[in-house]
Amino acid sequence: MAEAGAVAALEGVEVDYPGRGRALGPIDFSLAAGEIVALVGPSGCGKSTALRLLAGLEPPTRGQVRRAAGRGETAVVFQSPTLAPWLSAAANVALPLELAGVGGGEARTRAAEALRRVGLAGAEQARPAQLSGGMAMRASLARALVTSPKVLLLDEPFAALDEITRRQLADDVLALWAAERPAIVFVTHNVEEAVYMAGRVVVMTPGPGRIAGELPVEGPAPRPPGFRTTEAFRHTAEQLSELLRSGMEAGR
């Protein structure tokens, strides 16, 4: 059940898709203000569906979705950067503000500031096609952060990037989180990434996705250098792998 003070919660939620049957649930999930939760599970377990429910982009078939965040206070970063090719990086980042009615000048100023925070100062006029995969993802992140959201939903945002870039971006996301502390839900199927990013990891069973269990991750955030080599990290990752495995078997 949802605790008081949750910024978003799923209560007894089930999602059925016509022709595909049950995709998710029943599932109970609650997101507290300022926490980072990783949703881990095999492909097709309904992680992305859960994220869309939390974003309010899709209604559940049964159960309730509670969202404390208002319009513009929830941001989503998709697996692909999803930038409009005909707009400059700055115009892409300014888009959420302009859709909310913020004036052009102020929107551009705030967009430039958001780009600077993700390390893209100077790339304001670049088009998405001129950005590398990692840079485009940063621009997408800047667009999500430009409205200072209370809830940030990340749907396998680094899946298409190389290892070095994804590690760098993981640290950047944690640093950005430290500045404004939005609640983050991070969907991934990478165990190490989940442990590195999150303070709490929720494991899901194969479709229809249910919660197989959850695991707290000890340690400071943002992560100190060498965190991946610590005993605690390795141990948690092992435990998580075990949980995933038993979840897979239970799902059969």
Partner 1 sequence: MRRALLIAAPIVFVAIILAAWELACRALAVPAYFLPTPSAIVLALVDNAPLLFVSAWRTLSSALMAFAITGVLASLAALGAASARVAEASFRPIAILLQVTPIIALAPLFQIWAGIDHPDHAVVALACVAAFFPMYSGALAGLGAVDPELERLFDLYGATGWQRLSRLKLPSAVPQALEGFKVGLGLALVGAVIGEMEASGGGQEGLAWRILEASHRMEIARSFAAVAALALMAGVLHAAFQALERRLIRWWRGR
**Residue 187: CB minimum distance to partner 1, A:** 14
Positive or negative: CA dihedral 141, 143, 144, 146: positive
Instruction: Compute the distance between CA of residue 87 and CA of residue 194 in angstroms, rounded to an integer.
Output: 33
* Residue closer to partner 1, measured from CB, 140 or 236: 140
The DSSP letter of residue 47 is H
Query: Cβ of residue 235: shortest distance to partner 1, in angstroms?
Result: 37
Least separation in angstroms between CB 83 and partner 1: 8
- Closest approach of Cβ 86 to partner 1, in Å? 5
Name the 3-class secondary structure at 9: strand
Tokens of 52: 């869309």
Locate all alpha helices (DSSP H) within 146-190, ordered by sequence.
163-180
> What are the residues binding partner 1 (CB under 8 A)?
52, 55-57, 71-72, 74-76, 78, 80, 82, 84-88, 95-96, 98-100, 126-130, 147
Would you call the peptide bond into 222 cis, given omega within 30 degrees of 0 as the criterion? Answer: yes
Whole-number minimum distance, CB 149 to partner 1, in Å? Answer: 10
Of 176, 121, 101, which Cα lies nearest the Cα of 144? 176
Q: Which is nearer to partner 1, 34 or 72 (CB)?
A: 72
Shortest spacing between CB 238 and partner 1, in angstroms: 35
Q: Distance between CA 142 and CA 191 in Å, rounded?
A: 25
Cα gap 146→233, rounded to integer Å = 32
Q: Which is nearer to partner 1, 77 or 204 (CB)?
A: 77
Nearest residue (CB) to partner 1, 96 versus 206: 96
**With respect to partner 1, which residue has the nearer C-beta, 88 or 236?**
88
Query: CA Rg, the chain, in Å?
Result: 18
Tokens of 153: 């939903």
67 or 210, CB closer to partner 1?
67
Question: Which residue in 99, 104, 123 sits closest to 112, CA to CA?
Answer: 123
192 burial type by CB count under 10 A (0-12 exposed, 13-18 middle, 19+ buried): middle
Nearest distance, CB of residue 127 and partner 1, angstroms: 2
Enter the tokens of residue 75: 């941001």
Judged by beta carbon, residue 2 or residue 126, the one nearer partner 1 is: 126
